[in-house]
Amino acid sequence: MTQTIALLRPAVPPMLKDRVILITGGSRGIGRAIVEAICAAGGRAAFTYQSRKADAEQVVRQVSGEGGGALAIQADIRDFKRTQAVVAETIEQFGRLDGLVNNAGITRDKALMMMSPEDWQEVLDTNLTGTFNACRAAIVTFMKQKAGRIVNITSVAGLMGAERQVNYAASKAGIIGLTRSLAKEVAGYGITVNAIAPGYIETGMTASLDAKRLEAARTQIPVGRFGRAGEVGSLAAYLLSGAAGYITGQAVVIDGGLTL
């Protein structure tokens, strides 16, 4: 007679169980997908929005209905003092802060010959200075607790350039430089700093681009499709987790092979 012995394995805890993550620009698109991924992985999310209050409230209702915890905070991340207040409010609400995702960003696409100084400065102030503001606001907390995860959303435009996007590409290239420099600076404190560089992802931002430009881009992607926001969200959740403790200073490309 043979016996079958069942091996009981302990349940694997969610990847971000009890971790609190702050996300800038979390009410839609990639930011919303990151909020959803964090909560699905057992974490709690505070996220900023600038003006889309209804969208932000809908995200909170959705993740709360699925058993997650989320807090929406209105803020302009170009304002350093306001960004400091967002970090303080997150810690007051949840009692801790374990990670930061800098996602908030805008585009003002034009040929350089038509680009105004305001077009240039607004994109740099939001995308690059906003990333600095949030990192600066959170870094002291991370250093004191000798632990923390920072994930900065950059773009393949920051790696390979993009026509009619010199302001956007410059801001995203700057984020990569910031990421690598800060990673070296704070590695000894148990803090990792990485960037995610998406290619074409199906969001409202890409939907607003010219149809001919989108189709031309699709033909250059080896996997033959645009990415999904949830795929970026899953990657962010991994980089925020304990499993990614030996990854720092990297710009992780998620583009279906576009930059190969």
178 burial via Cβ count (<10 Å: 0-12, 13-18, 19+): buried
Q: Judge residue 91's burial from the number of C-beta atoms within 10 Å of its C-beta, 0-12 exposed, 13-18 middle, 19 or more buried.
A: middle
* 3-state percent helix, strand, coil for the chain, nearest multiple of 5: 50, 15, 35
The SS3 call for residue 101 is strand
Q: Are 218 and 226 in contact (CB under 8 A)?
A: yes
Return d(Cα 90, Cα 181) in angstroms, integer: 26
Reported residue count of the chain is 260
251 SS3 class: strand
255 secondary structure, DSSP code: S
CA atoms lying within 13 Å on the CB side of residue 60: 14
**Residues with catalytic roles:** 168
